[in-house]
Amino acid sequence: MKEMTRTMPPGLIFSDILGLVGPKLAAVEAEVVRNLHSDIGVIDELGTYLSNGGGKRVRPLLLLLSAQMSGYRGEKDVLFASVFEFIHTATLVHDDVIDGATIRRGRSSLNAQWGNGLTVLLGDYLYIKSMSMALTADDLRIIKILADITLKMIEGELIQKRRQGEIGVTAEEHLDIVRRKTACLFSGCSLVGGLLAGIGAEKEEALQSFGLNLGMAFQLVDDVLDFASDEKTLGKPVVSDLREGKMTLPLIYLLEAGDSEHRSKVQTVLDDRDFSRVRREEIVGLVQDRGTLQRTRDLARQYGEKAKRELRRFPDGLARSALETLPDLILARDR
């Protein structure tokens, strides 16, 4: 599992957090690899490529810590953490096809290697495989949560695709897309961790809200890093969202000021889907100089603080401290 950041804030460091759930996280990794293996050659080939690509495993970590904080002592947390990672991976595979992305985590994307047809089919396979894995636990409550989350994520993708290339996306519309595409999966991870322990409706609601706000913060930091990081660190080209026709919060905030020249530059990139007439550096300079990156990061911090407040309903302990540290780690990450 790759570290989320090179510089950790005071308090628990990332290795401390990993130590709390290390064996279970290793079991999740093994479960993911095992379920990506197939007797069907093409599935095994693509699945092996995916498993070798690694990933942050933030969502499994969130579920495992939520389950531990809630007092769960069984093994189903490993299963469902693996299920959520499969759902997340399926969305990434489909997103790369939709966006025409060629780089993922510093190497060729699946679609760049094998083409859109096989990649879409593998994404479908991963979705269904995740549900098949979940069904082995025989818990219809959680199956319904997984189905509802998957529907919301697809709704978010449909909304975003319909607005692709449009310069008039508002901050409210963008945050709604973020809520559906990213935050609801985080929310499901923390909620399921509590459900496994049977913590009751009030604490379930708190965990659900914690995950939602954490997911919002996570994606808004992604919005910032698309401008503030570099290709080597990020594992993909910078300002790739705009090149793909997506208006993210730093640009939306920039255009709210009403400068016609700024609007013209952004519209040109949206029209061209490249940086032939407007350089990447020009766009990066605009969001940096006008303070919209900091404004986006400030909003991410607000979501992170909201997430922390939800944990006050739980008793003090190492798992709670680890979860309280996650928003700070997310805000400090560089990839």
Sorted by where each starts, the structural domains of the chain and their CATH numbers stand as 14-328 (1.10.600.10)
Q: Which two tokens stand for residue 171?
A: 């901050």
Which residues 6+ apart lie within 8 Å of 60 measured at CB? 25, 28, 81, 82, 84, 85, 189
pLDDT of residue 3: 40
Instruction: Give the integer Cα–Cα distance in Å for 199 and 9.
Output: 30
Please report, for residues 212, 239, 267, 280, 281, the alpha-carbon distance to residue 260 in angstroms, rounded to integers and kept in the order given. 35, 20, 10, 18, 19
The answer to whether 277 and 234 are in contact (CB under 8 A) is: no
Instruction: Give the integer Cα–Cα distance in Å for 138 and 130.
Output: 14
What is the reported pTM? Answer: 0.93
pLDDT in tens, 30-42: 999 999 999 999 9
State whether the Cα torsion 283-289-290-291 is positive or negative.
positive
pLDDT of residue 11: 55
Q: Is the pLDDT of residue 176 over 70?
A: yes
pLDDT of residue 231: 84
pLDDT in tens, 283-333: 999 999 999 999 999 999 999 999 999 999 999 999 999 999 999 999 999
pLDDT of residue 29: 95
Of 129, 98, 124, give the one whose Cα is nearest residue 111: 98
Mean pLDDT of 264-282: 97
Instruction: Give the integer Cα–Cα distance in Å for 164 and 335.
Output: 24
Q: What is the mean pLDDT of the chain?
A: 93
DSSP codes, 141-159: HHHHHHHHHHHHHHHHHHH
Instruction: Give the integer Cα–Cα distance in Å for 16 and 322.
Output: 8
Phi, psi angles (nearest 5°) of residue 252: -60, -45
In this structure, what DSSP letter does residue 8 have?
Answer: P
Q: Which two tokens stand for residue 261?
A: 């020249």
Amino acid of residue 94: H
